[in-house]
Each structure stands twice: as C-alpha cells, then as structure tokens.
Structure 1
C-alpha cells in the first residue's frame, strides 16, 4: 500500500517555489525552470506543466510523491476518472503543492501519457518570498522543444531524431528540436491565469457567426497546421475555401484567392491570432493549446469570443464595403 507523503502542513503565508522540471532520459536535456505559487493545486500544476513543456493535454496523467518514479510505495495523485477506474491514490484537485514540497531538493514526479510514458522530475531549487502581484506560474528558463505526441516515448523520440524517414512521417519539415522560447511559454501561462470575464446574459448569442468562422479556421488548421506562403499569408486554396464554405463570396466583389486582398479572411486570421488561438512558428500556422480546446467546444468558443471582444467583429457581419477586392468595416 502506498504511504502518505503529505507530511507538510499548508503554509500560512504563500511562497514561491523555483522548480526545475526535466523530461527524464532526454539527451540533450529538455527542461524548464518555473516560479510556482505554493498555493497551486495539483490539477492547476498539471495545466502549467502541459503549457510549459509544450504538450497538448491529449492523454491521461498522474503525479507521484516518493523516492523515485518507480517507487512502488509512492503516493499517487489522479484525476477522478482514474479513481473511478480503480486506481489507488488521492484526487489531485484536493492536494496543494506546498503539502508535497517544502524545501530545496524536494522532488515530485509527473507522468504524462501512460502509453508513451513521458516521465518528468520536478526539483525545488529555491524557496522565495512571494509578492502579491506575482502570477501563479512563470517560466524563467528552459531548453529544447517538446517532443511530438505519440512518437513512442523518449526512446522513440531519440530514434526519430536519428532517422529522417521516421521524422518525416511524425513532424513537420521545419520541426526544430533545439527551439524554445521563454516569451511564448509565458504568453500561454498568462492565458491559464486569466480570470473568466463575466458575460451579460444573452450577449454571447450575437457572436455565433464569428464563432462559426473561427471554428472553421481552427478546424482547417487542425493538428498538422497550415504552411503559409513565402510572404506569410494563407495559401490561395484556403482563402477560396473560407470564402466559399463560410458563404462570404456572395457578399464580396473581386477575387478571393489572395489573403492580403480578401479582407474578411485576413481579419479572421488576425482575430484568431490576437486571441491566442493560433500561432505562427517557422512558416506554419498552428493551433495553440487554447485553440485546440475551443475548436472542440463550440459553446465555449462563442463565450470566449464574447468575453474577449467588445463587439461582434465586422468580418462576421456580412456587411462589407467592397472596392476592387479590398474591404473595410462598414
């Protein structure tokens, strides 16, 4: 039977844990250095780790507190589904980080995707006083890109990097295993921490046309992304498909093949990017984690647009001022 490792009382005053997160057995190392609020619950820490490492939250996970990640007596922390399926452990959203970590060198283990078995080790480096305005989580360092999902775990990833024929099937041509950006990571962490904006009752229904268009674009981008043109625009086939499938062509005068002269499509993409649903990476348009989640939840997407935008966007209204293929809000 697992022993209880929650030997620490919750702190009366919050602290900041400087934690290094390593993807076990990665060579060269894949790691992140995070400043974490001691008040984070484990389900919140899961979301932080997904964002900071670069995973897509597409698989099950668990936390473990023990001597190491194969300690059969380690205490395990699960989501409700796993407990319902008979797993032995504690519900993760009832456990606070400072119940498991207290001092430098304290460790916590995190497993993501029970098939591929991505193992992570979290080590406390420092315990710092906490300012009132600090975010719940902040990235201050790291190295190397997150491996692609479903590539066979860390050993499959090592094999992938050594075999271009395998890599071609699993990752885009411009995948850069050395790439990491603190700024991009923190942009995602800020999204996690953003409080929900209250929406007046019924207001979100006015955003349904915009939500339909944004969801179309998110679906079109999909898991593989869209290769942009050399000038950084959507390819003509996508622009034409948007105008046809969203039924905007009948409202438009001019050609519908170039994004830079088809203002509704250009504005649609700009809006999705500004709302951090899409991102550009080395010539490709990709879904963010938030974009992937909202693509599959139409009602949540509509509410998100209503909370994020002051009014329904002009490009979803169908009221275009057109002149030889250009457009502006009417």
Structure 2
C-alpha cells in the first residue's frame, strides 16, 4: 500500500528521482537510496521496493498488499505514475507491506535529476543493513529479536546477518525484474502491451477477407486452436482449446475487440471495421487505443487465469 498527500500532473518530460527509502522505526536505520524513473507505475514501484529492501512478496501471506494508491486519485495501481505523487525534493510517499506485520516505509525525494542515456528501470546507489526476516512480528518484533535471537528462531535463517547490505546484490535483484520494462514515455501505457499483442494478432488473422463463423456464431475450431498456440495460452487453459464456447480467453478476446468496434459481424462473417483495419498494422496506436478505451487490461492479457464454465453463445 502506498499513499501520498499530494497529486500532480504527469511530467511532460521524464526525469529521474533520487529517493531514500527508510523502514520506519528501525534502529539502527534500515534504508536504501534508489534512482527511479518518474514514469514508473505504482505496481512497478511495489516490485522495485520488494527487491530493493529484500522482501519476498510471499503469496502465502493473505495479508500482504501490492502497492495500491490511496492518494487523491483513488485509481488502480497500474494507472498511477510516480510523478503524479512525487514532484520535488522533500516530497514523501508512504508504503506499507504485509498488513499482518505492518512494515511501514517512507520514501523521500532527495533530488530530481535529468534523464541521460539508457538507464535501467531502477538502480540502487546506497543503503544500510539487511531486510528483517518475514513474519517476525513487524518492526517491534524484529527489534526484540535483535535483543534476543532465540525468541523467533524459526523465522530467522541460520546465516542471517542484520548488518549485511550489498549494492551489487541489490542491483542484481533489481535486474531480475522481468515484468518491469525500460520506461518508454512515447510508447503509451505499457500495461496494455499484452492485450494489444493479442488483439493485433486476432485482427491480422481475420485480415481483409474476414472469417466465416460457425452456424452457432463462433470462430472456427482451427482459428481457436491457432490463437491459443500463437498467444501461448495453451498450457494455461484446461479444456479442449478448440471450441470458442469452451475457451473463454479466445471468446473474451473476440468480444473485447468487437465491443471496441474493431470487429463486426455481417452475414455470418467476422470482418474488420475501418478502425480495426487501420490499427491492425500499427501496434503503438493499438496499444494507446486500448489504454484509452479500457479502465484496466483485460483478464486474458494477464497471463494468469483459470478456466470457468464457459461463455454464453454470441447474441
């Protein structure tokens, strides 16, 4: 959970924030100094802070939170940029991890730097002391643990050294953030890239000649199978993966494209609209169109889903 008391307009030109991150109430201080792109989204900031501090972001804890903003916009984390909450030196952002233990962090902007050359999405340039072990009772439990390591020995690794910190190890962990692309302010909303890829491939498969639907109004089995293979959805879906009415990702992909007026049905055929034809070979414009038209990326673009009972027949 991240929150700020201020809201700002997005910067027209990207900059780099030098930010100090402190784990609140830690004595001696546990902190990191990071260089962060101003266009970083809050869900990406969550991933950066997890790696930089040394948390595990363990899915086994039902009380953990991702970096949702309660700042004035009330928007989802993947639609809020860092420069909408931070602008100038001394601006602060507050981040909470794991509502059970309640690890509170304070981020303070130390400097606003010009963007020069290609930089990684996040870089650590300083820090001190190791991240506390998970599930040790929050900061006060951790401080008690430092006084008497036997009180929580089951959650403390045998080789745990509270004084250890390495810039090199931290940056190696940050480089492993495969879900965090290098910021590209001209490239539209990056969170819609998987959705744009899927929609673009569907539009290209339909092409200028269109596709004849089955008598029930579904995509032909060969098209469904090809879509599952091309988009690498086959291993994520339990089912036949040939019938559109039992393959919800393909059905919802087609429905989304139709609702956005990229496709239309005419005399038993599925055809591109003028907008669909125009965007078919323009992936950047397609991504921006999806981002402007949808509140969040569709579920089938997340890469993590489970089958349901299947969609209803097209109307």
What TM-score bracket applies, with the shorter chain setting the length?
A: 0.5 to 0.7
Quickly say closer, same or farther: Cα 1:96–1:161, change in 2 above 3 A. same
1:69-93 residue CA offsets vs partner (Å, 9 max, x unmatched): xxxxxx378xxxxxxxxxxx43111
CA contact (8 A) 1:63 1:108 kept: no
Q: Alignment RMSD, CA only?
A: 3.1
Quickly say closer, same or farther: Cα 1:171–1:76, change in 2 above 3 A. farther
Which whole-Å CA distance do the structure 2 matches of 1:120 and 1:107 have between them?
Answer: 10
Which whole-Å CA distance do the structure 1 matches of 2:34 and 2:4 have between them?
Answer: 26
Match of 1:183? 168
Pairing of 1:227-246 with structure 2 (within 5 A): none
SS in 1 for 2:177: helix
1:188-208 residue CA offsets vs partner (Å, 9 max, x unmatched): 111215759x9xx69x9xxxx
Gaps of 5+ in 1: 66-74, 78-88, 205-298, 301-330
Which whole-Å CA distance do the structure 2 matches of 1:99 and 1:31 have between them?
Answer: 23
Match of 1:147? 132
Shift of 1:170: 1.9
Whether 1:41 and 2:46 are equivalent positions in the alignment is: no
Match of 1:22? 22
Which whole-Å CA distance do the structure 2 matches of 1:56 and 1:117 have between them?
Answer: 14
Whether 1:105 and 2:105 are equivalent positions in the alignment is: no
Question: Higher strand fraction: Structure 1 or Structure 2?
Answer: 1
Quickly say closer, same or farther: Cα 1:169–1:7, change in 2 above 3 A. closer
Which whole-Å CA distance do the structure 1 matches of 2:19 and 2:118 have between them?
Answer: 19
Match of 2:56? 56
Q: 2:144 pairs with 125, 145, 159, which one?
A: 159
State which drifts further: 151-160 or 52-61.
Answer: 52-61
Aligned residue pair count: 185
Match of 1:169? 154
Whether 1:126 and 2:131 are equivalent positions in the alignment is: no
The TM-score with structure 2 as length reference comes to 0.53
Match of 1:264? none
Shift of 1:61: 3.9
Pairing of 1:59-138 with structure 2 (within 5 A): 59-62=64-67, 75=71, 89-138=74-123
Shift of 1:169: 2.3
CA contact (8 A) 2:45 2:67 kept: no
Shift of 1:172: 2.1
Quickly say closer, same or farther: Cα 1:76–1:51, change in 2 above 3 A. farther
CA contact (8 A) 1:103 1:124 kept: yes
The TM-score with structure 1 as length reference comes to 0.51
Which whole-Å CA distance do the structure 1 matches of 2:49 and 2:165 have between them?
Answer: 15
Shift of 1:62: 4.2
Quickly say closer, same or farther: Cα 1:63–1:30, change in 2 above 3 A. farther
